A and B are shown apart, each in its own frame.
Chain A
């Protein structure tokens, strides 16, 4: 089986930097993804790590350490529109298999 852990809530102010951690326990591992979801909306893909290291996409970066079963999403220059839920998700043995979302982290960005 697979299980993921994330902080349930994070609060930060506009312009700040915030890091959302994700730890996982899986019987197999293919990759770690991050998704953003606004209330009532659909999850939107943010970033993916298949190998150890840092991936950078604009204001968002994601990091993976497979040996530690750990990853994080780094959001820089926070904006009010970044207030949303952020989910890490793990693919198990192979592409499209055993895909499991974490419980989600609700980010609130304050003015």
Chain B
């Protein structure tokens, strides 16, 4: 079965640079979520989209922005990178239309290292 795809899997950037993370949800899933997870921490919800519209916003810094495109893939844009942005970034998708149960399927994550 198709899973959530994230690219790149690893990314090394320097301070003040920009980064773009991509997420391709499971086909026919209409909701995408972005999370940030630091070492030994729980995943922190950043932002979600439903049918290409922002659904909810969590602890996403103003330096970050995201959008969901017409083909349902999503991109997380991160600017003015800081050392503290080094983390695992997960994308998850779910299908609101199929069931009330909110089951999120996570991608493998993008490991971002800011030097």
Contact = CB atoms under 8 A, between A and B. Distances in A.
Interface residues of B, number: 26
A87 interface: yes
Main secondary structure of the interface of A (DSSP, over half): loop
Interface string B33-47: 101000000111100
Contact of B102 (A41, A87, A91, A104): A91
Given A30-B102, A96-B56, A102 B42 contact: yes
B109 A33 contact: no
Interface of B: 31, 33, 35, 42-45, 48, 50, 55-56, 58, 90, 92, 94, 96, 100-109
Interface of A: 30-31, 33, 41-45, 48, 50, 87, 91, 95-104
